[in-house]
Amino acid sequence: MNRIVQLRWSVLSVFLSMTIFPVLAYKGMHYRPDGISAVCVDCKHMYNRALYGAHSGFRIECSDIPVFGVYLPGMGGNMSFILPEGKCVAHYTPGRMDYEKGGVTIEVQVMRSFDCALWRLTNNNSNEVSVPVFFGGVSGKKFSRNGDLGVDPADCFSLKPEYCKGNKYSFSGDSVTVWYGVKERKEICLIIPAYKRSVTHDNIYEGAVKLNPGESKIIAYFPDGDIPLSSLESLMVQAEDERSTLASAMEISTPDEWLNPVGAALAVAADGIWGGRAWLHGAIGWRTPHLGWRGAYCGDALGWHDRALKHFETYAANQITDIPPVYSHPRQDHKQNMARAEKKWGTPMYSNGYICRRPGKKTEMSHYDMNLVYIDAMLRHFMHTGDTAAMRRLFPVLKRHLEWERLNFDPDGDYLYDAYCCIWASDALYYSGGAVTHSSAYNYFANKLAVEVARAIGENSWQFIWDAIGINNAIDSKLWMPDRGCWAEFRETDGRLHPFPALWTIYHAIDSRVGNEFKWYTATRYIDREIPHIPLNCDTSLYTLSTTNWKPYSWSINNVAIAEVMHTALAYWQADRPDDAYAIMKGVIMDNMYSGASPLNFGQISQYDAARGECYRDFADPIGVWSRALTEGLYGIRPCLIGDNKRVVIRPGFPEGWDCASVSMQDITYSFKREGQVDTYIIEGRYPSGTSLELCVSALGLREVRVDGGSSDWSAVDMAISRPLINVKLCSGKKNVVEIIRDASREYVPTGAVRTVGPVLFTQMESGMLKWWQPSDAGVEEQDTNISKAAITSRFADIKPSKCVPVDIAAFYNDSVSNIFRNRYESPRPDVTTLQIPVQGIGEWCHPQLTADIDDTGLRRLSADGNGTVHLLNIPFQIPSNGRNIVYTSRWDNYPAHVSIPLKGKATSIYILMAGSTNHMQWGMENARVTVRYSDGDTTSFPLINPVNWAPVEQDFYTDEHAFSQPLGTEPPMRVHLLSGEVSRSLGASLGLEGPADRYIPSGAGVLLNIPLDMSRGLESLHLETVSKDVVAGIMGITIQRP
């Protein structure tokens, strides 16, 4: 490259160097609201806001400055403008981008009826301006995730020499044709009204557009090489018409300026995930159709019922109807170490009722149960439309699906369902044939709605009735935990409950209407107490949520995922906690839409995710859930048009401090205004004939309800929580003006009735004719008793080496510690097709071949150097330098389930060196148990709990103050490095391990315990029992500390 070319690339590199700007380093607000736009001034993020074309994957990648990437799909070039000196102001108005710098503006548009991009340059100065234009780099190169945020290189759209190779230019007037491609030559066409231009020998177009005062000129990009006959000005007008029509699908206005642009942004993003026949998994990354996941909710929420129905009918044609289940359970894939189902037609999983994931490909088997969310969205579509013709066409699909779910996930008929990667948090999530709350809740809702659908179209509904009743009762009796006031994550096949549910467990149960209002409220209080709340940098009073606090980290298990947080907000609205619901929504707005990299983004993962950081833009799951949270949650629009009793309940979820709000969509327009003691609602529904409207609002101090100027009847809501609620019946198809008139005095007293649900006390209150239940904490322990007891064994404050006597346990050894993942743990296994831990005892269904090399040669070398003794924290342990060196226990048949080791004498403590396995599905649970028996027959037991005093031998726990914090009052386990003998609670730090992921310890590490004893009593034995099915727990050494 010669000196001149080097200089040119250097200048462009300086101009484009912001492509690698580290998003997480930015601490302030990136964008701020301006009407329905988001605006930034002199910011430097690159290729961070996409403008989507005509559902083909074509898009323009805009930046905070006028530098653009084009995706065809495939790298379609880089265009940049150098504007006069001044502050650079960038406006994202949903669907378009505008820039202003030095008196020159650039309006950027895309067409939505066909693929085309347009830039209008306008000179607002009093003097002539020349704007340099650069273009090049049309390579057609595909990126791993289509150039998405946080997952592809940040500079993938930059102008690079390798992208320009092979580009050939031809000119005809203002028209510029660029040929590209190696195996197949293709062309794109530009119109650039430049007064001078050239192409450098390294294939970069350089030009300049001259603008007189007040003059505008338009640059256009046509990806298929064809220039339409229409003028560029008419195309620009058409582009804005298409954009504004699209953005108007949801128009909202509230007192919160940060929220107001979100309605239009949601409509534009939702259009970005429409693929023509079905909703896509993402607008950029994962731009592929998926029948499941929650993107499909957005069609009906936005009033695009035709698109919604197209999606459901497209996938109805993909349901298997001619392959009966000829093979019986279990059908695990031995090539995948039995971690997941065998992909074979005729197995229970891949048989009649199964729906294939890609339209038109009925021969393709996926590893997800995507049926579940697809059916849920389809039933909610019926609730929105009441379309009996569609119900009749799709009823066989619904019926086959429910039969398929029973066959695969409730084969024992107990009405509780296993979950087979059927929600967003599917990767690494497995339940080993257990009874799972979220999948059981989905099936409850599906059967409950199937009853209504069957009745509406004259079909038999008895099977659905019995199943809905059975599932609801089973969840209530076997998965609800009365002491904790929430549902268990799952129930193992032996009946053990996982007591620390994830966000998805709580919100899915509430969203599926499992339980009642008392349980919904109480379950959200579990989230308040137990789920990590992560404060935002921009305002520490705001927060976001992690999905769990489980360790060790695995993708989709413990993340800050936007859709998960927003679905939780929806659940809070459904639990009648509007202020708290909006606080959660506001946290997402500030995190993902303004302080993140992309303005008004519906991203997948938050910048506050410790493992992944901010990644993906306009992802289907958050778009779908946002659409429901806005419409059903904040604006409270809840239609149910199935059957004869068609009604739409409007239950506004506005924060108490709001005095106005409005929304306009295809199906409904309504506004709210508070003036003094009068709340006025103006509501106009555009629902099918025969639909009734009901307004459900707070009414403390109610004096009168007026509708259209006249006094109106109302009815009280029986199960109102936190505030009294009333229902007011209205008419659809007309404008209703409702006035809720209150007295300034709002006195209320308790009735004497109380109810306790878990740790929440509900006291019934009354004010005049109104009654409601006021919640308060009835008292909840700050710490789980088992966790508190486990924490005792991880304290080492009173070691007395001179009093320590090693116990010879060589006769009990049954293996070498290094063999733990060299075994095949094949039995006992569930007798159903399920997701489970692989046979090597490590990994999960996404990583079925995973293993770890546990190497104890370092510890053996220390033993040899110490004549059979190894000192850890100055505690002597008798550990052999050769042969077996551990006694393993397990629920697997490979080892005994428990072992007893005789002891004698008296002691103040027993120190135990242990090693074994655990995983994220065993977090917070008793993995194993150590019991000391005294000579008088009494015992004392201590649970081994991940992450308090038990840890996986192969890796170190990541610990922070948020999603990966230790349980209250505990420290990380004391680890012993098997290679070096180093003892530390922060072994990962000394080994240089960073972040939550990939914290594998070279050679592995054990766990050191201290069992406190009653030194006045003689000892008889120490008993170790493994409790969890997935776990192996072993003892390497025991040392007694004498009085």
Taking only the tens place, the pLDDT of each residue in 608-655 is 999 999 999 999 999 999 999 999 999 999 999 999 999 999 999 999
Identify which has the larger pLDDT, 541 or 480: 480
| Mean pLDDT, residues 723-752 taken together | 92
Beta strand ranges found along 824-923 (DSSP E):
869-872, 875-878, 887-890, 898-902, 909-916
CATH class of the structural domain 647-777? mainly beta
pLDDT in tens, 229-250: 899 999 999 999 999 999 999 9
Above 90 in pLDDT, residue 25? no
The answer to whether 905 and 1040 have CB atoms below 8 angstroms apart is yes
| Mean pLDDT, residues 87-105 taken together | 98
Lowest mean pLDDT among 24-38, 676-690, 719-733, 783-797: 24-38
Mean pLDDT of the chain: 94
Domain ranges within the chain, ordered by starting residue: 3-246, 253-319+354-640, 647-777, 785-816+856-1041
User: What is d(CA 603, CA 598) in angstroms, rounded to the nearest whole number?
Assistant: 9
CATH class of the structural domain 3-246? mainly beta
Confidence of residue 1 (pLDDT cuts 50, 70, 90): very low
Confidence (pLDDT) at 779: 64
Above 70 in pLDDT, residue 377? yes
User: What is d(CA 22, CA 440) in angstroms, rounded to the nearest whole number?
Assistant: 42
Burial class (CB in 10 A: 0-12, 13-18, 19+), 308: buried
One DSSP character per residue, 383-396 reads HHH--HHHHHHHHH
DSSP H or E stretch at residue 232: helix 232-247
Above 50 in pLDDT, residue 10? no
| Phi, psi of 237, rounded to the nearest 5 degrees | -65, -45
Above 90 in pLDDT, residue 298? yes
The answer to whether 356 and 318 have CB atoms below 8 angstroms apart is yes
CATH class of the structural domain 253-319+354-640? mainly alpha
Confidence of residue 182 (pLDDT cuts 50, 70, 90): confident
Confidence of residue 782 (pLDDT cuts 50, 70, 90): low
| Mean pLDDT, residues 109-132 taken together | 97
The answer to whether 527 and 544 have CB atoms below 8 angstroms apart is no
pLDDT in tens, 894-903: 999 999 999 9
785-816+856-1041 CATH fold: Jelly Rolls (2.60.120)
- DSSP-derived 3-state class of residue 485: coil
User: What is d(CA 56, CA 373) in angstroms, rounded to the nearest whole number?
Assistant: 25
One DSSP character per residue, 951-1008 reads --TTBPPP--SSTTPPPTT--PPEEEETTT--EES-HHHHTT--SSS--BPTB-EEEE
User: What is d(CA 923, CA 503) in angstroms, rounded to the nearest whole number?
Assistant: 15
Position 221, amino acid: Y
Same fold, 3-246 and 253-319+354-640: no
